[in-house]
Structure 1
Amino acid sequence: MNYRHSFHAGNSADVVKHSLLIALIRALQLKDSALTLIDTHAGCGLYDLEGEEAGRTGEATQGVLRAFADRNPLLDDYRAAVQAVNVEADALDMPRLYPGSPRIMAELLRPQDVLILNEKHPEDAYALRGAMRGTPAAVHERDAYELWLAMLPTRTPRGVVVVDPPYEQTDERSRITATLAAAHRKWSHGVTVIWYPLKERSTHALWKDKLRQLGIPKLLTVEHWLYDADQPGIYNGAGLFIVNPPYAFTQGLPPLLEALRAALAPEGHRGEITAAWLSE
């Protein structure tokens, strides 16, 4: 699977991922101590929904545009984050620009927080530096898994690592599993968010079993299945693995997940979005 950000900006997976990322960071910021936010696969940082790549797939129509058309107040924080990069548009207008995770995290920074971004693809790294101009973000151009481990433990008391790869390589899941195991040994109290696409439930169950075997005590899995049954050979949804989510985040999760399911369900399908502890 090739999941370069620019082709899929603003799709249903982005809506879920960014809604949950905002809620997670806000929950962590209920405490005053500084956070380090790290994005290992940062992409370009900002995307033109009317550009050639996003326009080729048109996936934003089933993602961010649905979220803007749905007026559920539980999605207000997400809509505000998208609206922040569309400053010339009215608050109810459909956005032309879409912020990637780096821009969303930059909007959430407090003075004491730190933002570290990494993007190995040279063209995307160049675009990322442009998108983050005027923010305090540090931008690296390194192997994502090397950087992940090199930055741990964070210099601030707490931190979040966001891992959002394109899944171009056949060994992507095994590299994530091995690096997560090493990262947890170095930084057992840290928060880690791993995004993944969903194609087949049986294949995904195998990966969950391998992650379960790592023995991480607090590992939450959020799965968003778009269709009521697997659609063979196509993208069926996406999810997040979240290590050490704070209590304030998990307590507020059920109504937010229901709001996302309702806003993003394809016509003729109810869809399903669930959260469950992976720990044995």
Structure 2
Amino acid sequence: MNYRHSFHAGNSADVVKHSLLIALVRALQHKQSALTLIDTHAGCGLYDLAGEEAGRTGEAAQGVLRAFADPNPLLGEYRAAVEAVNDGDTGGAAPRLYPGSPRILAQLLRPQDFLILNEKHPQDVDTLRSAMRGTSAAVHARDAYEFWLAMLPTRSPRGVVVVDPPYEQTDERARITATLAAAHRKWAHGVTVIWYPLKDRATQSRWKQQLRRLGIPKFLCVEHWLYDSDQPGSYNGAGLFIVNPPYAFSQALPPLLEALRAALAPEGHRGEITADWLND
């Protein structure tokens, strides 16, 4: 599956991913000590929803535009993050620009925090550097899995690694599993967020079984299934694996997940969004 960011900017997966990233970082910032935020597959950083690639799929209509049409205050921080790259206020109009995880994480930085980004694609990393101009982010162009391990342990005692690959390679899940095992050995207390697309429940169940064998104790699995049953050959939703989520985040999660489910449910479907501990 090819999930290059620019074709899918602002879709339902982005709404869930970015809403949860904001909530996660905010929960970690309850403590004043510094955070190092690392994005291994950073993409372009900023996307034009009216551009050729995003316009070709039109997926923002079922994602960010639904979130903007929903008045639920639990989605307020997410909407504010999108508005911030649209001159601070969309004035009720649909946003034209969409922030990728790098721009959202940059908005969350406190003076004591660090942001380190990586994008291997040569065209995208040039776009990323331009998009992050004026921020304190460091930008690398390395193999994502080598970079992930090289950055551990993080420069501050606390940190978050975001792993958001395009799933272009058939061995992507195997590389994630192997690298996560090595990363956990180097940095057992760190927070890791892994995004993935959902194609069918059987494939996802097999991967979760492989991840359970790693024996990572605090391993949360959030899954957003758009449709009430699998749609063969279609994109069915997306999920996040979160290693070592803070207590404040996991406790506040249920109402946020329900707000996201309600805002993003396709017409004729209720949809489902769940959060379960992988090793319970």
- Pick the TM interval, shorter chain: over 0.9
1:53-64 equivalent positions in 2, closer than 5 A: 53-64=53-64
Task: Look up the equivalent residue of 1:43 and give its one-letter code.
Answer: G
Task: Look up the equivalent residue of 2:54 and give its one-letter code.
Answer: A
Contiguous gaps of at least 5 residues in structure 2: none
1:60-209 equivalent positions in 2, closer than 5 A: 60-87=60-87, 89-209=89-209
Q: 1:127-175: CA deviations, max 9, x gaps?
A: 0000000000000000000000000001101000000000000000000
Q: 1:8-53: CA deviations, max 9, x gaps?
A: 0000000000000000000000000000000000000000000000
Task: Look up the equivalent residue of 1:27 and give its one-letter code.
Answer: A
Contact 1:83 1:91 in 2 (8 A): no
Q: What is residue 10 of structure 1 aligned with on the other side?
A: 10
Q: TM-score, normalization: structure 2?
A: 0.99
Distance 2:39 2:91 in 1: 28
Q: 1:31-78: CA deviations, max 9, x gaps?
A: 000000000000000000000000000000000000000000000000
Q: What is residue 218 of structure 1 aligned with on the other side?
A: 218
Give the SS at the match of 2:110. coil
**Number of aligned residues:** 280
Distance 1:160 1:91, change over 3 A: farther
Q: What is residue 26 of structure 2 aligned with on the other side?
A: 26
Distance 1:213 1:103 in 2: 34
Task: Look up the equivalent residue of 2:246 and give its one-letter code.
Answer: P
Q: What is residue 230 of structure 2 aligned with on the other side?
A: 230
Distance 1:110 1:91, change over 3 A: farther
Distance 1:210 1:159 in 2: 25
Query: How far has the Cα of 1:92 moved from its partner?
Result: 2.5
Distance 2:176 2:92 in 1: 39
Query: How far has the Cα of 1:89 moved from its partner?
Result: 4.4
Q: TM-score, normalization: structure 1?
A: 0.99
Distance 1:87 1:265 in 2: 29
Give the SS at the match of 1:238. strand
Distance 1:212 1:20 in 2: 22
Task: Look up the equivalent residue of 1:212 and give its one-letter code.
Answer: R
Query: How far has the Cα of 1:219 moved from its partner?
Result: 0.2
* Identity level (%): 83
User: Displaced runs of 4+ in structure 1, greater than 3 A?
Assistant: 88-91
Give the SS at the match of 1:169. coil
RMSD (Å), alpha carbons = 0.7
Give the SS at the match of 2:105. helix
Contiguous gaps of at least 5 residues in structure 1: none
